[in-house]
Structure 1
Amino acid sequence: MEEQKRARLIYNPTSGQEIMKKNVAEVLNVLEGFGYETSAFQTTPEKDSAKNEARRAALAGFDLVIAAGGDGTINEVVNGIAPLEKRPRMAIIPTGTTNDYARALKVPRGNPVEAAKLIGKNQTILMDIGLAKNVKNGYSQEHYFINIAALGTLTELTYSVPSQLKTMFGYLAYVVKGAELLPQVQFTPVRVQHDKGIFEGSVSMIFVALTNSIGGFEQIVPDAKLDDGNFTLLMVKTGNLFEILHLIRQVLDGGKHVDSNLVEYIKTRSLSIKHLDNSSRLLLNLDGEFGGDAPVHLYNLANHIEFFADTDLVSDHAITLDSEQINREKMAQRFIEETNHFEVSIK
């Protein structure tokens, strides 16, 4: 007799207006219907709660670990599993505000039961995972990331944006919102070594992306592949306010920024980033959270974790515009209009 598969649901009870708490029983029923002996773990405010439980479940031999929450919860579960030699399959149930990883995998958002039902399609992708090695709070660390590593003064400005704005618009929006913050942008001298060579110069922002969805927008790295073993490295080589505004408009206008001479756009399997100004810090942002300081070494762990996904949609480049996406498109258009007025008023 074939041994029954086991699944562990790790869920954040406070994410998405506690939507997961209301749906745990039905989600467990769905997973049981797919042949999994399923149990649930509710995360706590304790540090690394989801990470520690994911590691425990993996070492206990669970076949599937499901992360239910926002991108932060998914990141934490990945950090529990990624260091292990034997890693279970993963699935996600997105209940956060931006849900970039769910967008990349085409997992239904805002409906935990429908997201769980996707597992029944039995479609998976061997996803690339990022590994960052650097120093945080004075200690050497290794931290895995699933979507984006970012550095530079534009990135650092995001830490000062009100949490309400982050909730409304997600990661990119509180970078983009910087029409009022952009005058503070400074050029930062860096040395970036990548597969194609070495870049040495000043930048206002560095993106190192694994997927094409950042803050709900899919135009920043429009050609990112989920499983090719490459990061997409994007460096903004200007600190000029008007040039940055123009680049942002190009991003929102179908990703035309990738051809700009103000941008370095490179595919690389690994890279190192060093800050060349010893009088200041260059902060690292990993999946939207503070990840320590440069220098940092980044490695793409190709095909590292097998995720359930809707591959029928992932292979289709067409984007389905739900109400949330339509609102983002409207916000982008408003930003373009407002920055036009901003430029005119400064002149």
Structure 2
Amino acid sequence: MRARLIYNPTSGKETLKKNLAEILMVIEKAGYETSAYATTPEDFSAKHEATRAAMAGFDLIIAAGGDGTINEVINGIAPLENRPKLAIIPGGTTNDFARALHIPRDNVVKAAEVILKNQTIKSDIGKAGNTYFMNIAAGGYLTELTYEVPSHLKSVFGYLAYLAKGAEMLPRVKPINMKLTYDDGVFDGKASMFFLGLTNSIGGFEQISPDARLDDGKFSLIIIKTANVIEIMHLITLMINGGKHVNDSRVIYTKTSSLYAETINDDFRMMINLDGEYGGDAPMQFTNYKQHIEMFANLDDIPESAVSKEEEEFIKQVEKLTNEDLDGDGKIA
């Protein structure tokens, strides 16, 4: 078997670059003939290399870097019919997807060693327009804070940089006339923002989508109807205290396999955030690709509620067919 390590040499104060030899040894120990590719400043460097490696028949691609690098690798392999397995070595600041897969985020070698456990999950992937995302899509005023936090502050202060900028922007939050069409209905009115999550970890917070599953083919859709600063602060408090915001009357919380987001006023611009980066403007169609990419994960630490149990339920149903339910030919009587 062959593996291709795609890593960002500048990510995480160059920790990946400094530990490259040891990381390669771990992947070789897992049974893969391994080679490495360092991303370059060229646009979509990681994406192009992921596509090339997948089409060359590599069995495993390891995306090593921040959420941006991982997002690029996913965009490189998601459109393909034959997709290799994917492993993740986090090296950025937020590392939301690695957090959801319970991959170590403070030691790149320990993260690589997850591959040795040979535990995988077929994870859902989202698509927005022509771009794939692995964690979150969002629209609304408050989501724009991601664009306004300077890169050097993200690297140095991580979550604190986002929190500080979020507090600064709260007074500027305004409602947007938006129309959101999802599986079970339509929201047509004013809202300050919407989130469309694939995991339970968004910006380092693990209670925004408390019952999110990684492989059920459903997004967690959250619509924040209020734009009042005090009310938003209250909702944040409810979220931190056990995800209680999902039951609040100022919030719509539901599951959906697709979403069409548009603004009522054609003159108003609503930028869409995809995995922390600008991904285009509404209107935009979002689709969940169920169990689209097989990924290495630390399943021993992932809560059972975060992973579907479809196969186990099927086995249970089969076991219910007793001998009395079958005729002599083994067919259902």
TM-score by length of 1: 0.85
Aligned to 2:317: none
Matched, 1:174 2:170: no
Work out the number of aligned pairs and report it.
Answer: 306
Following the alignment from structure 2 to structure 1, what is the Cα–Cα distance between the partners of residues 151 and 140? 20
Which amino acid in structure 2 is aligned with residue 114 of structure 1? K
Matched, 1:66 2:54: no
Change (3 A) 1:114 1:99: same
Task: Please state whether the residue corresponding to 1:224 is helix, strand or coil.
Answer: coil
Change (3 A) 1:168 1:234: farther
Which 5+ residue runs of structure 1 have no aligned equivalent? Answer: 134-141, 319-347
How far does the alpha carbon of each residue in 1:281-337 deviate from its partner, in whole angstroms, 9 at most, with x for none?
00000000000000000000000000000101013679xxxxxxxxxxxxxxxxxxx
Q: Is the 8 A contact 1:9 1:66 kept in 2?
A: yes
- 1:293-304 equivalences in 2 (<5 Å): 293-304=281-292
Which amino acid in structure 2 is aligned with residue 227 of structure 1? D
Following the alignment from structure 2 to structure 1, what is the Cα–Cα distance between the partners of residues 128 and 122? 20
Aligned counterpart for 1:311 among listed residues 288, 299, 316: 299
Which amino acid in structure 2 is aligned with residue 207 of structure 1? F
Q: Is the 8 A contact 1:90 1:306 kept in 2?
A: yes
Q: Is the 8 A contact 1:52 1:80 kept in 2?
A: yes
Once the 2 structures are TM-superposed, how far is the Cα of residue 173 of structure 1 from its aligned partner?
6.2
Once the 2 structures are TM-superposed, how far is the Cα of residue 30 of structure 1 from its aligned partner?
1.2
Aligned counterpart for 1:233 among listed residues 221, 246, 256: 221
Change (3 A) 1:172 1:17: closer
How far does the alpha carbon of each residue in 1:154-183 deviate from its partner, in whole angstroms, 9 at most, with x for none?
112432234454335546962674333211
Aligned to 1:127: 123
How far does the alpha carbon of each residue in 1:105-152 deviate from its partner, in whole angstroms, 9 at most, with x for none?
01111212111111011000000000001xxxxxxxx00000000100
Q: Is the 8 A contact 1:154 1:175 kept in 2?
A: no
Which 5+ residue runs of structure 2 have no aligned equivalent? Answer: 307-333
Aligned to 1:24: 20
| More displaced 10-residue stretch of structure 1: 44-53 or 248-257 | 248-257
How far does the alpha carbon of each residue in 1:5-38 deviate from its partner, in whole angstroms, 9 at most, with x for none?
0000000000000000111111111111111100
TM-score by length of 2: 0.88
Matched, 1:56 2:52: yes
- 1:1-347 equivalences in 2 (<5 Å): 5-133=1-129, 142-167=130-155, 170=158, 174=162, 177-315=165-303
Task: Please state whether the residue corresponding to 1:198 is helix, strand or coil.
Answer: strand
Change (3 A) 1:108 1:149: same
Following the alignment from structure 1 to structure 2, what is the Cα–Cα distance between the partners of residues 305 and 172? 32
Q: Is the 8 A contact 2:145 2:165 kept in 1?
A: no
Q: Is the 8 A contact 2:146 2:277 kept in 1?
A: no
Q: Is the 8 A contact 1:285 1:291 kept in 2?
A: yes
- Identical amino acids, percent of aligned pairs: 62
Task: Please state whether the residue corresponding to 1:20 is helix, strand or coil.
Answer: helix
| More displaced 10-residue stretch of structure 1: 118-127 or 157-166 | 157-166
Tell which structure's C-alpha radius of gyration is larger: 2
